[in-house]
Amino acid sequence: MNFQSFKKAYQNLWMKKLVKPPYKHVVQIGDPILRVKTKAVNPTDIESDNFKQFLETLKNVWSRYDCAGLSAPQIGVDLRVFAMHFPAVNKFRGTEQEYINKEMQHVPYTVWINPEMKVIDYGKVSFSEGCESMRGYSAEVDRYTRVLLTGLNENGKATSCEYTGWPARIVQHEMDHLDGKIFTDIMKARSLICDCWSRINYHEGNIYLSYYPRK
């Protein structure tokens, strides 16, 4: 074996193979896929094994990160698909008063394929929101209070739903992802914070932020 062959064999032994999407993790800001305007799903593909496997991966990643919404580009896939979910008040990690003040509502796990959004109420409210693709940070963002969403469900059936309050915010956040936008594009810039800034001070900087939550 010559030197070049040995070098290649050694590299193959120690270097992991390039992982291809759909990923089992959430990509972070800076990844070009987050700036892509995604493509519509061909309805005939919805029953395919590949698409079903993609939806299963989307759900698995959503479950592991326990997030309110997750879009296809966030796991590296250039398709107009997102999933959303929000817990009932008795399973919410915050306070009951916060749940009420932000007009939060239970939303069962729901998949939207080729969604289209129509604003029903152009009034806006501002609340802090974060994103799994900018993990550890949040900022104030203005969002419409009521929207109508139409599209296909995970079985390819036409569906529609009107969302208000916090669920409407989730919808707008995920629709932005499908158009290559991130909440930092429209946030109130001076409100951007590192969510664990006080813990960083308390632990004198000895804080570890994982981009792949352990369960």
Which whole-number Å values give the CA distances from 59 to 27, 110, 139, 171, in the listed order? 15, 10, 26, 17
Which one has a higher pLDDT value, 214 or 130? Answer: 130
Q: What is the pTM of this model?
A: 0.91
Cβ neighbour number for residue 125 with a 10 Å cutoff: 15
Q: Is residue 7 part of a domain?
A: no
Q: Is residue 120 part of a domain?
A: yes
174 is catalytic: yes
Q: Kindly report the CATH number assigned to the domain that includes residue 30.
A: 3.90.45.10
Q: Is the pLDDT of residue 1 over 60?
A: no
Who contacts 23 (Cβ-Cβ below 8 Å, separation ≥6)?
Answer: 57, 61, 75, 76
pLDDT in tens, 114-166: 999 999 999 999 999 999 999 999 999 999 999 999 999 999 999 999 999 99
**Residue positions counted in the chain:** 215
Which one has a higher pLDDT value, 196 or 16? Answer: 196
Range of the domain at 180: 17-202
Instruction: Out of 129, 132, 174, 204, pick the active-site residue.
Output: 174
Q: Residue 30's pLDDT is what?
A: 98
Q: Is residue 126 part of a domain?
A: yes
Q: Is residue 45 part of a domain?
A: yes
